[in-house]
Structure 1
Amino acid sequence: MAVSHRPLALAAAVATAAALGATVLTLPAHAAAGTGEDPAAAAKPPAKFELKDGTLTWGVKESFRNYVTGPISGGKVQVTDGAKQVKGNGAFTFSGGKGTYDLSQHAVSTTFKGSVRFLGHAKKGGGWELDLKFADLKLVTKGKTGRITADVTSYGKTRNDVTVASLDLSKVTPGRGTGGAMTFPKIPAKLTADGAKAFAYHGSSFYKAGDALDPATLSVKQGKAIPAPQPKPQPKPKSTVAAPKPASVPGKPEAATDESLLPRTPDPKPSEGAPQQEDGTAPKSGELNTAATSGDIADGRLTWGVKESFRKYVTGSIANGRILPTGGAEKAGDSYNFTKGHGKFDSTAPSLDAAFNGTLQFIGHENEGKDKLDLKLTNLRIKGSGSGGELIADVSSNQRGKGGTYYNANGVTVAKLKLTADSLKPKGGLVTINAAAATLTADGAKAFSGFYKEGAALDPVSAVISTDKNVKLPAFGDGSSASDPTGSSTSTDGTGTTGTTGTGDSTTGAAKGGVTGTEDTLAHTGADTPTGPLAGSAAALVLAGGAAVWGARRKSAATGR
């Protein structure tokens, strides 16, 4: 099959994946306020990026190459259309790779130029009994698995897009290649059942499904972001039916429709013995115990996801790790709950000092039984007064590039919190902090071994705290959406993003402390993704950081800089 069909296939893949990933990363609509942009258009940063200048190095199968060129077959190997072969009957390199990276699924899809043809067992009248050609190669990965497909020509018949090999990326550690490329070296490959048919000779195959093939090495560079398609605004329907006028009775004036003209009944006085506020009025429903006295906190729950892109990185195919909540911490949707809040609350200031039980540990990049990535956060605590607050934790973190040394410190101010005017005002015996914007501190950056800079956005912090021993905490998620795990139905405080693409800049929604240069390469992917090697592979720390680049570009466009 001709190589020319790939641009169309690639375009279709890009359009399809962009549509599927359109809602993966989102910003609140208010993040676009003040930019002059349509909030709906600014609400969805791209979940996909183009890949360019890709190369695939793969020898298919060394023993097969040796057989074809050996004395029994007496054949040869031909490379055409841009493919090259290492001298000495070595592996093949297919270049000109183009494709896409889907952040939402950690999926790579790349198509390459070049073909390789194996010829053996020459016929007396000319031609070859063994004639096998692989062309139009494509490498696809998703999470820890992948495949190599090709157009296969054997015995004069061509089968398009045959899955020749299955790939296992579970133990592959990516690294930096030339020119800022991301390289996935020596990906283990096995022959598929369809691939085994390609090696058939005189009715039987040289190999069977599951046989090991040569490992494959993928190298790609990041291209431009692919914005998610935005829905077209729907015009509001215009009503063409006039509202009916009230029927009038002859001899009687028309009924008044203005409530100000209607007779008003005096407001009833509060019943004797009913609870009253300081001004003598009865409190509204749900607002009893508003003036909670200062003292010990009865109970509390802190809900925090730390950082979405970091979670995805740790559990993705690169770090191949896991997140462990213990000691009172528990998974809660995309976040984690820290329980049994205790501490002090002062209603007069108001101020809060609440600590929570639970430990959250991120581990990954296992090598020889040791995890090169190991970050532990425990004894989380919120201190707040007025419109400001701090998120404090005891930190233990393996420091990259320092010989396995650890950063161990207690009482580290990991993040600064932006609270609303009502965050510390109790209602019904409960203090509710709803999705407070959180930004990384300089000391907090040490916990991440410097992969994120001071001022980078973390996931928002929510908490619900009982100031009355007779008032129980609401169940997680009661009356709330996934973005409001405290049970409150109020909106965020207008401080910008929810921690995936910025630091709460309500004017632009762009990330602070992010992109430091203009190169749009894998090694310069912005603040939202680690830009160093969490386990010694710098450029590979996810194309996800391109979302921060995209945010910074939008800011530049909005401000004219």
Structure 2
Amino acid sequence: MPVRRRRSTALAAAVATAAALGATVLVTAGATTATAAEVPLKDYELTWGIKQTYRNYVGMFGTFTTSGGATQAAGNGAFTFVDGTGAYDTTGHTVDLAFKGGLVSKSTAHGFEITLTDVRFDSKAGEITADIKKVDTSAGAPETTEGDDVPLATVAVTREMKDMATTLTAEAGEYLGSASYAGAAGDPLTVVQKTSPSTPPASPSSSPSQTQTQEPSPSASQTAPTEQPETESPAPTPTKTTEASPSASATKGEVADGTLGWGVKQSFRAYVVGPIAKGRVTVSGGATQAAGNGAFTFKDATGTYDTDADKLTAAFQGAVNFKGHESGGTYGLDLTLSNLKATLDGGSGKLSADVNSLGTLTQGVVLADLKARSADLTAEKDVITADDVAATLTAAGAKAFGDFYPAGTALDTVDLSVALSSDAQLPDGGSSGTTGGTGGTGGSAGGSTGGTGGTASTIGGTGTTTGGSTGGGSLATTGSDIPGPALAGAAGVAVAIGAGAVYATRRRRTQQ
């Protein structure tokens, strides 16, 4: 395919400035000197998930790997690229930023490896671009396609540059493996400065009469400078606050409240609502699930703590049910986890739950071994927080999942927050999820309570939609968004069908 050649940040900014000012001078290919209308930018971050259904697809049988400072949010979340540098055009109120970090999407089973680097955001053009290398081995011999500054999505630019709507391009569909992506809604895009300066940056010295500008603010409508507010600021510098010292409350006692965030395992969630299980995920009893078949939040914690001994025991309300493989009203998969309980002692601990599998209840099953990033349990403003706690499947947990995953498998990480007093403010936990009411339309599976108390909420099945965007089930269940090279091969289909058959068989053996 045609290759778009990379242009330097300085040259792009110079061309944009010359056009905005109506300059008569010729901008040459070697131009590197910024004009008076440009302000240099640095320390920006770009967060974009590409498309949630694409992440679900890759996560089912493949992996995402970040490098060069790029990261991925827990639960197969969005990607963040760092160290963004570039220029702000104070005349046109536009920014052009280039970011560091790489991303590799790979599935050996389906024969593809896609590498993204040099991610860029140009607010004037309203687009995201990247250098892409795609290696396709689905047909046998490797076939490599490369492109520089490939346009991945158009962006509806806003002044704040947060949660901007994106639309995937035809090039994105070609490189990601699905023509149906062209024109489809992508994940929202956010571009922010990581560290705000302690003092407002001065205006360029070459233009002393210019009104001082604190932070760049691209105008979605490209309004003339005279119509802009006197100070542009997409990310106002926050008032500096002194970090709270450790709580002076009692060092041991009873937990007043708390939340536990856990996705179980992202690939399992995608499998349940995918084309093999054709099922649904249901939360109840006060539990919530993040949009797009995301992670779960369990609430209303009770338990005890001892910050001197670095010990915590907390039990949480709510349940989650996984149901699929329906045949004649009978389900090969019907698994409910409820009454979750987490313990930590010096940074290590256990995660247990009551497990109801195909109608058989087993209480207090230790599902995972936990390992916190720090052994210390320190209260800040009467709240103990332990995020990104590693969870590893136990032998008992493997049995609970019908030996679908072997013991030792890494599960989704766990986020714990417990309040030590009734007036302590817990971090936001799962407010974007759903609880109660009616969730997305399921597949052939009927409604499920999935636990005790409350009205169930479901995600998955055919054509699920959450919050106005396609949910986690759509790619897997409709098939229309599945990348062509991936499931087109007979080997890939065999792997998927085999996984479903093995799971259903193991569940029945466990029940027997």
TM-score (norm 2): 0.41
- State the structure with more CA Rg: 1
TM-score (norm 1): 0.38
